[in-house]
Structure 1
Amino acid sequence: MTQQNTPLLSIRNLSVEFGSTSKPFRAVEGLDLTVSQGEIVGIVGESGSGKSVTMMAMMGLLEGQGRIVADELSFDGKNLLTISARDRRKIVGKDIAMIFQDPMTSLNPSYTVGYQIMEVLKVHQGLRGGALKARALELMELVEIPAAKTRLEAYPHQLSGGMSQRVMIAIALACNPKLLIADEPTTALDVTIQAQIMDLLVSLQKERNMALIMITHDLAVISEVAHRVAVMYAGQVAEVGEVPGLFRHPVHPYTEALLASIPEHSKGARRLSTLPGIVPGQYDRPTGCLLSPRCPYVADRCRQERPGITTYDQGAVRCFTPLFAKEAV
């Protein structure tokens, strides 16, 4: 169910550019997104769609690398566009936490995992001494790491991928964040461990009533755990809708193609369903709709104009003739 209270996170008309100002590459363009307390929002799309960049821009992790512009970028009533760097550091890592894609490269190999958990607790909660170590141990046990007391003294290379991911979750949860961002949290793990990590994340989200943004390629995961889903393509939101409605009746051609590519939907067919072509890059972006070179429903207008976002009773879509309009013709 969609939460009805004032959004915890509100992003309106966000754009992120890289490169020179004369020839910029717009990695994110005109993005709108809201997330409420206790809500799970999935963000899906092919690699290069701008999913991770959007969240890193919101957290202020791209300063000095990209140019960020938005009409609104607010979290828990605070304006993230005008907030000072000092005040932002009080929020990021405490009220907003992120689990990055690869735990094996996100953890510092030079320090024990216990030290890395305790560092967060020192900075944001001011814990010291025995209370600090006790809280670190409590977090290790919370994420179900066996022999947690012993593993506090372990270095990242001494842990498996699944254990390292649990340490990353412990670090993210250390300060009881209001918003947790999980960026492909199961990418490098085998199927059994993936299921365990997902069950752990969802269980902790419900227990703490956190907002959770799940960035993933796995549509099956989103269909099972999310309240809403935003489908991104080439830096734009193509469609936003509630689960399970979006999975039953996609209204954007790209969403339809993503769902059709799930192997279960191709049972009995000789080949898996695919969408020809690739996501446009910096130098091959079409003039009109960014999906137009790949879209099976493309029309002349699509090749000449960029569609804006249109809201309807079930969500929002960026398309001149969404699928429900085609059905009505």
Structure 2
Amino acid sequence: MSHHEPTLLRVRNLRVEFGAFAAVDGVDLELGRGELLALVGESGSGKSLAMLALLGLVDAPGRVSADELSFAGQDLLALTPAERRRLTGRDIAMVFQDAQASLDPSYSIGFQIEEALRQHTGLRGAAARARALELLEQVEIPAAAERLQAYPHQLSGGMNQRVMIAIAMACAPRLLIADEPTTALDVTIQAQIIELLLKLQREQGMSLLLITHDLAVVAEMAAQVRHQLAVMYAGQIVETGTLPALFEAPRHPYTAALLAALPEMSAGQARLSALPGIVPAALDRPGGCLLAPRCAWAQARCRAERPALVQGLRCHYPLGQVPAPGSRS
């Protein structure tokens, strides 16, 4: 290995604005080579939008800005749209949540994988066919040779998601971004897809950025591999840390509430009161901490003053530390 700078992806103060509204509001992320980062938040938290911004896929009227947006030391914001597309096809690959919608129903699986290979690696003919077969085997599709001739409607949702992952892996990307890759699938299949992504990440030495609203998916991974977690709420990152440590002692009330809602956490007790309410919309962002209206621990300071992200935490009164002033604990 030649030695490069260890950070593959660096994001500083990423903003995505629609008019005066910041849907992504100052996000910082860092991902090292061969590392795994899970980005978690409810729908409406801005997590998918942050990734589209990274890939250069935010359309007008959305405006993207950042102090830094770099991949392997390259400034993404300085690239032309064509250069950006080339990079995202080759070095950065993406798997979206709904394979059925991403695959073309009128072409065979084999044709679609070979098309991706031709576009990004220039392979054609027998070489492309052989590589397509190899990719299907890599994503553990049984009887792969027969499946090359199949059409998406002939495969199950889980199999189609594996095909999507095979297409993403076609150029041996250095970073794979998986946006809610298991949402449309049932629980046992979800676990298999996560298992597969972790296996590919390990074997290929690639970095993996997993976006999900489902902490159970992250818990599934935490059991197998130590990795980074960033929790997002209303366009901001509220807590970052390493798993499983972060699960054992969450410091942010929002992280704690997400954990409390996991079935295995609330076993044997009355359903834990997860957060009432929803992520605030564009027009009702509170003035202080964005979580304050939903937070049982909120104090006057929380309603008045927005906390900064300090050492991976955006909270005036972290859990498990001194009781908040004026709280009757």
Contact 2:232 2:238 in 1 (8 A): yes
Contact 2:116 2:167 in 1 (8 A): yes
Q: Map 1:299-310; keep pairs closer than 5 Å.
A: 299-310=299-310
Q: Which amino acid aligns with 2:93?
A: A
Q: Pick one of 199, 206, 227 that aligns with 1:203.
A: 199
Q: Which residue of 1 aligns with 2:171?
A: 175
Q: Which amino acid aligns with 1:261?
A: A
Which has the larger displacement, 316-325 or 76-85? 316-325
**What is the CA–CA distance in structure 1 between the aligned matches of 2:38 and 2:270, rounded to whole Å?**
31
**What is the CA–CA distance in structure 2 between the aligned matches of 1:258 and 1:139, rounded to whole Å?**
36
Shift of 1:244: 1.4
Question: Cα–Cα, structure 1 residues 89 and 35, in superposed 2: closer, same or farther, change >3 Å?
Answer: same
Residue 78 of structure 1 pairs with residue 62 of structure 2: no
SS at match of 2:284: coil
Which has the larger displacement, 30-39 or 129-138? 129-138
Please give the per-residue CA displacement for 1:97-141, whole angstroms capped at 9, x wherever unaligned: 111011111112222222221121111111111111111111111
Residue 253 of structure 1 pairs with residue 249 of structure 2: no
**What is the CA–CA distance in structure 2 between the aligned matches of 1:270 and 1:249, rounded to whole Å?**
21
**What is the CA–CA distance in structure 1 between the aligned matches of 2:318 and 2:270, rounded to whole Å?**
29
Shift of 1:324: 4.3
Q: Pick one of 165, 182, 187 that aligns with 2:183.
A: 187
Q: Pick one of 111, 123, 129 that aligns with 1:127.
A: 123
SS at match of 2:22: strand
Shift of 1:40: 0.7
Shift of 1:81: 0.9
Q: Which amino acid aligns with 1:291?
A: L
Residue 244 of structure 1 pairs with residue 244 of structure 2: yes
Q: Which residue of 1 aligns with 2:94?
A: 98
TM-score by length of 2: 0.92
Q: Which amino acid aligns with 1:179?
A: L
Shift of 1:269: 1.9
Q: Which residue of 2 aligns with 1:228?
A: 228
Q: Which residue of 1 aligns with 2:297?
A: 297
Please give the per-residue CA displacement for 1:256-292, whole angstroms capped at 9, x wherever unaligned: 1111111222222233431111110112111111101
Q: Map 1:2-17; keep pairs closer than 5 Å.
A: 6-17=6-17
Contact 1:263 1:272 in 2 (8 A): no
**What is the CA–CA distance in structure 1 between the aligned matches of 2:152 and 2:290, rounded to whole Å?**
41
**What is the CA–CA distance in structure 1 between the aligned matches of 2:298 and 2:172, rounded to whole Å?**
47
Contact 1:42 1:226 in 2 (8 A): no
Please give the per-residue CA displacement for 1:204-233, whole angstroms capped at 9, x wherever unaligned: 110011100111233233223451100000
Q: Which residue of 1 aligns with 2:274?
A: 274
5+ residue gaps, structure 1 = none
**What is the CA–CA distance in structure 2 between the aligned matches of 1:94 and 1:186, rounded to whole Å?**
23
TM-score by length of 1: 0.92
Over the matched positions of the two proteins, sequence identity in percent amounts to 60
Q: Which amino acid aligns with 1:68?
A: V
SS at match of 1:153: coil
Question: Cα–Cα, structure 1 residues 65 and 176, in superposed 2: closer, same or farther, change >3 Å?
Answer: farther
Contact 1:118 1:132 in 2 (8 A): yes
RMSD of equivalent CA atoms? 1.7
Q: Pick one of 63, 66, 72 that aligns with 1:67.
A: 63
**What is the CA–CA distance in structure 2 between the aligned matches of 1:5 and 1:317, rounded to whole Å?**
26
**What is the CA–CA distance in structure 1 between the aligned matches of 2:265 and 2:154, rounded to whole Å?**
40
Contact 2:317 2:324 in 1 (8 A): no
